[in-house]
Amino acid sequence: MSGMAPTLAQAAVRDRLSRTGLSRRAATDRIMRALAVAAAVISVLPLAAVVLFVTLNGAGALSLDLLTKAPTALGVGGGAATAILGSLQMVPLAALVAIPIGVAVGIYVTEYAGPRSASVVRFAADVLVGVPSILIGVFVFTFLVLPFRQYNAIAGSAALALIMVPVIMRTTEEILLLVPRSLREASLALGIRRWRTVLSIVVRTGLGGILAGVMLAVARAAGETAPLLFTALGSRLINVGGFGQPMDALPLFIYNNSRQPYAALNAQAWGAAFLLLVFVLAVNVAVRGRSLFRPSPK
């Protein structure tokens, strides 16, 4: 009996220590989970604050005149029709140029490039992503504005395309790297050529992620102001199809009107900001919805 007492005591101590360890681990788990939830809330708060602030200030400024009329000299009446039409022309033109180039470069880096050349292209894209957009505007101004002595929408679209290409390229690369290698090998084993495998299997499998990256690039380009100040400049005249002339855009309209000492112009700037926000949110929701409701493979 005397030999059993220490054994029982030791078992009780071990049980107590085990419970203490479990409680500590549970407490640590709860603390870390709370910190993770707090970090998630903090990361969402800025977006919610921006959306709420712009909505409260801009929704009331929306009107039929803002959507359909050109600006006037002092903002008496008038609207943002020139800026809306300009953005609807320059951003799609930039996307038309940037999407094929960005996706093609992403495919090259993932499927065809060697380690050294892939590293060089990846480094160049990362540097271009980090270059301030105003420098891209100055660069395009030097080559597409100064030689022709004319601000023009083509230069504005080129500047936006330069901003979009590295974003599309890097997102395309990351998405294609997630496609299982077994899919490539199975396609090649069936005798399908490599280029057809890349387009029909690899790109098609990662199409949802590629589209998300494209829309991220489009959203960034749609909100850029600095490059357009050096290229498209802006205009109070409605310009449809005149890419060789100055052209307005929503970011330029917001920038110019927000600096004016007139309440009517400031209100128009808030209304245009709300329109830009709605455009970006609508495009992202449409892309996410397409990915969400796409039928899963069986």
Angstrom distance (rounded) from CA 69 to CA 54 = 22
Task: Sketch the domain layout of the chain as residue ranges.
Answer: 84-250
The pLDDT tens digits of the residues spanning 213-237 come to 898 899 899 999 999 999 999 998 9
The pLDDT tens digits of the residues spanning 96-109 come to 999 999 999 999 99
The pLDDT tens digits of the residues spanning 64-93 come to 999 999 998 765 678 999 999 999 999 999
**N residues, the chain:** 298
Q: Which pair of tokens denotes residue 92?
A: 């799609």
Q: What does pTM read for this prediction?
A: 0.85
The neighbour count for residue 171, using CB atoms within 10 Å, is 23
CATH architecture label of 84-250: Orthogonal Bundle (1.10)
In the DSSP assignment, the letter for residue 60 is G
Q: Which pair of tokens denotes residue 108?
A: 């090259």
